[in-house]
Amino acid sequence: MHVIVTGHHLDVTESLKAHVDAKFEKLARHFDNVTDVHVILTVEKLVQKAEATLLVSGAKLFAEDSQEDMYVAIDNMVDKLDRQITKHKEKTGHHR
């Protein structure tokens, strides 16, 4: 899995990148066909926003979350992606 982390109006620190990588390792355990991940971290006044686009076999998944803390926004975004990946995995598994 190839994870690209970019920041708008934000310098992406090593701790933010390490947190994102650790969270996306959790997704790799559930579904191993994730090929590419692009994470964008944005700061707008008091709102911290995290959004990600995942390329999996057969689909492109997107999730975003806004919070006052960037780490909480990343956690919530990864939870949303986890639900989408499990739903996608169940859909692809039901083909005969």
We report the CATH number of the domain holding residue 25 as: 3.30.160.100
Q: How far apart are CA 40 and CA 49, in angstroms?
A: 8
- pLDDT score recorded for residue 26: 82
The rounded average pLDDT for each run of 10 residues, N- to C-terminus, in the chain (96 residues) is 90 94 84 85 93 89 95 95 88 71
Count the domains in the chain.
Answer: 1
Q: Note the helical H segments in the chain.
A: 14-30, 70-93
- pLDDT score recorded for residue 14: 95
- pLDDT score recorded for residue 51: 96
* Residue 85, both tokens: 């990946």
For 51, the domain range is: 2-93
Q: How far apart are CA 1 and CA 10, in angstroms?
A: 24
The alpha-carbon radius of gyration of the chain (Å, integer) is 14
